[in-house]
């Protein structure tokens, strides 16, 4: 029943997040969460801010958090915008920079929230198919007319990245429109486009504390770009809800960003485990391209992805799968602890052996 629903949402197909199980305990490798706890300094910051965090409104401008991000990114504070997770920041950006008359260009296989935003905000999209190896067809993003471009770098769910040289070409090919580079996974082996901000006034880089800084539960994201773009983001935010990042989240994110040593330690551990796991998967027949994210995107050449996905679930291991042409047999596997990846590999080896023997 959709009585009283507006026309905007009546026919919407919302984004479907990865399963968050409540009925039993699983090894959760389906939502790209960091397997390691946040910096100990984050927990200290939460305790310090707890007394006033619930009673008082947060700073709507997130000044201290923006200062920490700006210092980390070697930018000015007025080049930083903060929001309630990178998903909200992306939603604000779609409203701030794109118009229905001009289609937004992004890959056909990428973060599925982009298509949801297009439909919800009554925009139009030009989906460009990835190459057969899931690499980005850069020339089409350079030369095809667009009202804006959105690129996840590295891409989700494929894990492949675009070079800064190719991003420069895309930026130069779209000088009158904003190019959004969504860097949710950039800290796991990809070069950030932040260094290009001073050169390109049409570049907006979006990042998050959810992945590499283990703060998915607090929802903190940010955009980096020309002051003109940041002003547009603030205009959208303040037309909806000025208080988007709560006090606890702001304090925790500041502590996480400032603890560079812990950040380096955990991200390097994840990258090392990722490379080891990829080689192990290949040893018993799975195919997967090198990843620059905190997940792997792999398939077995002779086994249906749905069958493998279900067999893993029955063994208490969750991964992500999409029932979409071209990738229906692929599984996106988040990188967990070494113990969790040992369990995954043992289960997959058993599943492959059982299914290929039939």
pTM, to two decimals:
0.96
Residues β-bridged to residue 298 = 288, 331
What HEC string does the chain produce?
Answer: CCCCCCHHHHCCCCCCCCCCCCCCCCEECCCCCCCCCCCHHHHHHHHHHHHHHCCCCCCCCCHHHHHHHHHHHCCCHHHEEEECHHHHHHHHHHHHHCCCCCCEEEECCCCCHHHHHHHHCCCCEEEECCCCCCCCCHHHHHHCCCCCEEEECCCCCCCCCCCHHHHHHHHHHCCCCCEEEECCCHHHCCCCHHHHCCCCCCEEEEEECCCCCCCCCCCCEEEEECHHHHHHHHHHHCCCCCCCCCHHHHHHHHHHHHCHHHHHHHHHHHHHHHHHHHHHHHHCCCEECCCCCCEEEEECCCCCHHHHHHHHHHCCEECECCCCCCCCCCEEEECCCHHHHHHHHHHHHHHHHHHHHC
Residues β-bridged to residue 287 = 299
pLDDT by position in tens, the chain (length 358): 788 888 888 888 888 888 888 877 899 999 999 999 999 999 999 988 767 778 889 999 999 999 999 999 999 999 999 999 999 999 999 999 999 999 999 999 999 999 999 999 999 999 999 999 999 999 999 999 899 999 999 999 999 999 999 999 999 999 999 999 999 999 999 999 999 999 999 999 999 999 999 999 999 999 999 999 999 999 999 999 999 999 999 999 999 999 999 999 999 999 999 999 999 999 999 999 999 999 999 999 999 999 999 999 999 999 999 999 999 999 999 999 999 999 999 999 999 998 887 6
Query: Is the CB of residue 95 less than 8 Å from the CB of residue 236?
Result: yes
């Amino acid at each position: 029943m959709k009585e009283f629903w507006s026309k905007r949402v009546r026919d919407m197909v919302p984004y479907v997040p990865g399963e968050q199980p409540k009925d039993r305990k699983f090894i959760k490798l389906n939502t790209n969460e960091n397997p390691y706890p946040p910096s100990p300094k984050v927990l200290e910051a939460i305790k310090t801010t707890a007394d006033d965090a619930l009673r008082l409104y947060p700073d709507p401008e997130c000044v201290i958090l923006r200062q920490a991000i700006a210092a980390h990114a070697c930018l000015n504070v007025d080049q930083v915008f903060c929001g309630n997770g990178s998903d909200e920041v992306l939603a604000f950006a779609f409203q701030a920079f794109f118009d229905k008359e001009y289609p937004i260009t992004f890959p056909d296989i990428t973060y599925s929230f982009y298509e949801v935003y297009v439909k919800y905000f009554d925009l139009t999209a030009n989906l460009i198919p990835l190459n057969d190896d899931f690499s980005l067809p850069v020339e089409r993003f350079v030369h095809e007319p667009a009202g804006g471009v959105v690129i996840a770098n590295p891409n989700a769910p494929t894990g492949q990245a675009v070079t800064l040289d190719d991003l420069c070409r895309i930026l130069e090919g779209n000088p009158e429109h904003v190019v959004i580079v969504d860097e949710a996974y950039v800290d796991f082996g990809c070069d950030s486009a932040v260094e290009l901000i001073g050169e390109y006034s049409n570049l907006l880089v979006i990042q998050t504390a959810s992945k590499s800084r283990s703060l998915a539960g607090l929802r903190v994201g940010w955009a980096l770009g020309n002051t003109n773009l940041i002003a547009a983001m603030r205009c959208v935010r303040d037309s909806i809800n000025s208080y988007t990042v709560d006090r606890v989240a702001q304090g925790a994110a500041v502590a996480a960003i400032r603890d560079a040593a812990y950040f380096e330690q955990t991200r390097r551990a994840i990258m090392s485990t990722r490379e080891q796991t990829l080689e192990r998967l290949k040893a018993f027949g799975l195919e997967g391209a090198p990843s620059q994210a905190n997940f792997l995107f792999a398939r077995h050449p002779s086994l249906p992805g749905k069958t493998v996905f279900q067999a893993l679930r029955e063994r208490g291991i969750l991964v992500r799968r999409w029932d979409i042409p071209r990738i229906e047999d692929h599984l996106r596997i988040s990188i967990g602890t070494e113990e969790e990846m040992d369990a995954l590999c043992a289960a997959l080896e058993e599943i492959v052996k059982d299914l290929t023997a039939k």
